[in-house]
Amino acid sequence: MTISLCMIVKDEEDILDRALQSVKGFPDEIIIVDTGSSDNTMEISRKWTEKVFAFEWVEDFSAARNYTFEQATMDYIFWLDADDVVNSNNLKKLIHLKRTLNPSFDAVRMDYHTTFDSYGNVTTTARRIRLIKRKSPFRWIGVVHEDLSWEGKGGNPTILESDIIIIHKKMKPSTEKRNLQIYEKHLAKGLTLTTQDIFHYAQELKGDKQYEKAIGYYEEFLRKKNNSSSWRTFTYNQLATCYHLIGDTKKELEITLQSFAEGLPLPEFCCRLGEHFVKKKEYDAAIFWYELAVNVPCDKNIQGSTSETFRTWFPNKQLALCYLQLGQYSKVYRHYKKALSFRAGDEEMLRNLKLVKELMDKKKEKKRTGRKKKR
């Protein structure tokens, strides 16, 4: 089995070496397509490979991605962005995969860790197809936030679900509205958006705080046929977030309940219902939903990205607050400790943990004093 690494780049001189070094020893050929760099990206690329190509940017990421794939000559294609890295443990897994992958598989899906909090915890993760058989009918679709689509006649691709992790390690946040502008130029030309583009345009509008407009496009996406339950669940979450941000809690609750008809609930929805019952001071009901957020099985086939926050420290912190209202201090202590295992230096939770420990000690002392008086 041989591997072509395909990348599209633009002005990546600060990070390109890092990405390529992280997968050294895995690909048999490297193909780099530059979409208009004004720095030393192409010179750096040529240190790694002779297959460096210039591609005229046409406001379409899929066009550039498909062009890179057209240059590949090996058995399988692996794609990577310049701000992605593979750590040493996952590089070993990639090399092992290369040696052992059954050629009957058309593709391999991997985890993509995209954002992290200040404590180093993964806060957002997605499942992406990363490796595809070169002769399979996969094609990139979508002008922005492009994705691989199986365009074969009949049948479905055979996909191996792996535990390999690719890490998105962006150097600095983008301050441009590039993606939103690409969609708006696309619409201004009178071109139509694919179903996938409708969803991602809504995402860009949400990121730009155009919540009412984003709601319209999310709802248009949900009206489309043939969307998987997984994509619909993820979209319901984005829609509920928009309603929350414009203060329409009634609609947020309605969307949350609708999402349960699609399958396993997202931890985000469980936390929404937990918050709903906290506001009503119905703490037992809130506890039920926060416990479910922690324990709901992780759906490896979920489309879009998932937030680890709502299955880790956040529901545990909320459980501590609920049990505090019920005077169950040992459970408060336990859930603060659990939450702190994800956010070890959280000053607010550390203060609360100390106060709870003092309350527990006072309660124990009161019991001891009571027993002495009885004697």
215-273 pLDDT, tens per residue? 999 999 999 988 888 889 999 999 999 999 999 999 999 999 999 999 888 999 999 99
For the chain, the first-to-last Cα distance in angstroms comes to 81
Residue 300's pLDDT is 60
Exposure pattern of 285-311 as b/e (b: 16+ CB <10 Å)?
bbbbbbbbbbebeebeebbbbbbbbbb
**CA neighbor of 144 nearest in space, from 59, 238, 217:** 59
Residue 258's pLDDT is 95
* pTM (predicted TM-score): 0.85
Residue 374's pLDDT is 61
Structure-token match 């609360």, residue found: 352
**CA dist 325 to 205, 329, 346, Å?**
39, 9, 21
Domains identified in the chain and CATH numbers: 3-168 (3.90.550.10)
Residue 93's pLDDT is 98
Residue 375's pLDDT is 58
Residue 341's pLDDT is 94
Regions of the chain short of the pLDDT cut 50: 175
Residue 4's pLDDT is 98
How far apart are the C-alpha atoms of 169 and 82, rounded to whole Å? 9
